[in-house]
Structure 1
Amino acid sequence: MNASRTRALRLSVAVLVCSVGLLSGCSGSGSGSSGREEGSTTQAAVPAADSDLQSAYQKVIKDVLPSVVQIQAGGDLGSGVVYDDKGHIVTNAHVVGDEKTFEVTTANSQNVLTAKLVYSYPEQDLAVIKLDKVPDGLRAATFGDSAKVAVGQIVLAMGSPLGLSSSVTQGIVSATGRTVSEGGSDGGTGATIPNMVQTSAAINPGNSGGALVNLDGQVIGIPTLAAIDPNVGSAAPGIGFAIPVSMVRTVADQIIANGKVTDSGRAALGITGRTVVDAGFQPAGVAVVEVVNDGAADKAGIEAGDVITKLGDTAITTITSLAEALAGDRPGQKTSVTFTRDGSVKTVDVTLGEQ
């Protein structure tokens, strides 16, 4: 693991691979007969629309960047967003890892601040830390509305990619409502996160926990991971994902008020399971290893040894596909589970519990 946190995450089973190159600008001179004196310069007129967009970018950066911080957790670096004027900072759970104390640097100061963990919620890859002392002028970010996030909106990603603090990249909202599973073996939490915002804004190691911002200066998501092309094993440019602001606010508000998450809003079957394969070594379902006493599966009569093959109308082949199917449901929702037991196929109705 390198010093810019940035643990590599997985999109489903694809390893996140990131690289950075330093590009130097090149300029050349010619002997064209322009009629201008040597050494004179001219500047092309900037179209009004381009000038307006540039001004909008600069205003957003000026307004929001002071609310985006760099977090050092042990030997790793990540990003965070100032949540309120009391010194609470929201970030990714995989940024804080197993650490309890942190060093924080704001965008407008080189002074190192100290902070402590309030609570980490790996199931949604979110965490809240709190500054030990709130500095003068600390500015909380403005958080937007997930319902107003639309494909095609221009967005800026702010954070500390590869330790380059206060960096900004731009792109658009490419899609909404994505369900994405992180890997757990490469520094991610293994969470399956629903309703993520897909963006073309570059998200590199170190951006995790930063801010995805619209042109109104509102945070609409927390950048969390980028994808690679599993066929070639290299980065897939322009495919990144951010946790939606609605979930960020729900989780952060509970952590700040209660010191933990008391209402996850995430559906659960109440089992532990593992992926099983068929005779051709292809994923074929989820074997139930253990059933939580009095949980949803237990109440429906599902037992250890059963192999789940369908949730509702969704085919289940792996533990990840089961998690992704559940991510779209809510606690208390009624659905059906199809499974095999001793060679027989059975279907039962289930009222989902809470994770």
Structure 2
Amino acid sequence: MDRSRARHVRMLASLTAAALATALLGGCSDSGSGSSATKATTQAAAARKDASDVQSDYQRVIKDVLPSVVQIDAADSLGSGIVFDDKGHIVTNAHVVGEEKAFKVTAATGEQALTAKLVSSYPEQDLAVIKLDEPPSGLKAAKFGDSSKVEVGQLVLAMGSPLGLSSSVTQGIVSATGRTVSEGRAGGGTGATIGNMVQTSAAINPGNSGGALVNMDSEVVGIPTLAATDPEMGDSAAPGIGFAIPASMVKTIADQIVKDGKVTDSGRAALGITGRTVLGGDDYRAAGVAVVDVVSGGAADKAGIKAGDIITKLGDTTITTITSLSEALAADQPGQQVQVGYSRDGSGKTAEVTLGEM
């Protein structure tokens, strides 16, 4: 073979090797693209499965709990309730029952309305118990969970009859715990100050009151009671900010009403006074709570606080209004010792007070 032909053969060999290398590299690239596509497909399938699992969980919880949620019709209000036991006791909000003594109750199963009567109402915690006159067979009591185990971020469902739409369900998360909230009296509210409430993003609308806030274990963790309002929007409801009375408090109060016909141990701290907000300074701003009356033998009386004194501090909390005093007390416990700051005849004083019970 002459030199020219040899160089030509070597050149072809080199070109063939280069082409082969390119093909091999191209094959690697194609393989990677295929792998990415497969991975994306796998991830999409996993996402669909996760969504399907969540949907199945929602449907399971709704099937478990909704039969225990009822609609309550009073003369001037419409709300929801939860079947408390198989004897026909139903727990709801005090503002749902109002001043009424008799009610019509419709189960989520859509059966004919049943009649019920008030057992007792406890407006201080906005809770009440009514009882069906003739409990139907197979009445399913709800399962109440431990509200101390409720955590921010947990998925929850709110079940009730918002705007009269019975057996409605909304979903959200637990947005916060340990909230102290004061109700207004407008629209039939009790004016109660309630501690340790569960805040949720699940929609709470008129008619949801007294219904069930439920976790994914089909346990009632609270009773939806009110939605936050936005003063800048004419006190219209603030979307996604609702509050529920914790299940542990619901059970404590309902158990007493079922057993004794009334609340015998509220678990709520009290000073044992009647007070009113006072204004002070040139700007006439709220400046404390004037003691109008003192319960004889109560916590304030034992500590030497008298009518005419102006309470300005409870523990580390500055007190400016009767609402702020109620909210501070809602965070405390009966028997707890707190320092109360007050003024008498313009002189500042303090007293160590052992809180009583509401």
Q: With the length of structure 2 as denominator, give the TM-score of the two structures.
A: 0.86
Match of residue 240 from structure 1: 242
Alpha-carbon deviation of 1:138? 1.4
Measure, in 2, the Cα distance between the counterparts of 1:164 and 1:274.
Answer: 40
Name the structure, 1 or 2, with higher relative contact order (CA <8 Å, separation 6+).
1
Q: Post-superposition shift, 1:110?
A: 3.2
CA distance in 1, matches of 2:347, 2:77: 50
2:210 and 2:173 map into 1 onto residues whose CA distance is: 19
5+ residue gaps, structure 1, are 1-43
User: Which residue does 2:35 correspond to in 1?
Assistant: none
Q: Please state how far the C-alpha of 1:281 moved relative to its aligned partner.
A: 1.4
Match of residue 328, structure 2, among 325, 330, 341: 325
Q: For residue 177 of structure 1, what is the amino acid of its counterpart? A: G
- Counterpart of 1:99 in structure 2 is 100
Question: Which one has the bigger helix percentage?
Answer: 2
Correspondence for 1:117? 118
Give the deviation of 1:109 after TM superposition: 2.5
Tell me the distance in 1 between the aligned counterparts of 2:151 and 2:335. Answer: 29
CA distance in 1, matches of 2:275, 2:133: 41
Corresponding residue to 1:290 among 280, 283, 293: 293
State how 1:94-243 maps to structure 2 within 5 Å.
Answer: 94-233=95-234, 234-243=236-245
Match of 2:85? 84
SS of match in other structure, 2:232: coil
Deviation at 1:207, TM superposition (A): 0.1
1:145-179 Cα deviation digits (max 9, x unpaired): 11210000000000000100000000000000000
> Hey, what's the Cα distance between the residues in 1 that align with 2:190 and 2:229?
18
Per-residue deviation at 1:319?
A: 0.2
> Alpha-carbon deviation of 1:111?
0.3
Q: Which whole-Å CA distance do the structure 1 matches of 2:339 and 2:63 have between them?
A: 51
Q: Deviations over 1:270-321 (max 9, x none)?
A: 0010101112111100001111111111111111111100011110000000
**Residue number among 273, 276, 281 corresponding to 1:274 in the alignment:** 276
Partner of 1:252: 254
Q: Which residue of 1 aligns with 2:342?
A: 339
How many residues were matched structurally?
Answer: 312
For 1:64, the equivalent position in structure 2 comes to 65
Aligned equivalents of 1:185, 1:53: Cα separation in 2: 39
Counterpart of 2:319 (choices 316, 319, 334) is 316
Code of the aligned partner of 1:176: T
Alpha-carbon distance, 1:137 to partner: 2.1
Deviation at 1:228, TM superposition (A): 1.5
Cα deviation for residue 96 of structure 1 reads: 0.4
2 CA distance for matches of 1:235 and 1:300? 42
CA distance in 1, matches of 2:332, 2:275: 19
Give CA deviations for 1:304-352 in whole Å, capped at 9, x if unaligned: 1111000111100000000000011111111111111111001111111
What displacement does 1:236 show? 1.2
SS at match of 1:143: coil
Tell me, yes or no, if structure 1 residue 48 matches structure 2 residue 18.
no
Q: 3-state DSSP class of the match of 2:190?
A: coil
> Structure 2: how far apart are the matches of 1:182 and 1:172?
22
Paired amino acid for 1:145: D
Q: Which amino acid aligns with 1:258?
A: D
| Structure showing greater Rg | 2
- CA distance in 2 between counterparts of 1:214 and 1:198 reads 13
* Deviation of the 1:53 alpha carbon: 0.3
Q: Which amino acid aligns with 1:159?
A: G
One-letter amino acid of the counterpart of residue 235, structure 1? A
- Equivalent in the alignment of 1:30: none
Deviations 1:242-270 (A, max 9, x none): 00000001001111111111000101000
Shift of 1:232: 2.6
4+ long deviations beyond 3 Å:
none
Q: 2:315, 2:58 → 1: CA distance? A: 45
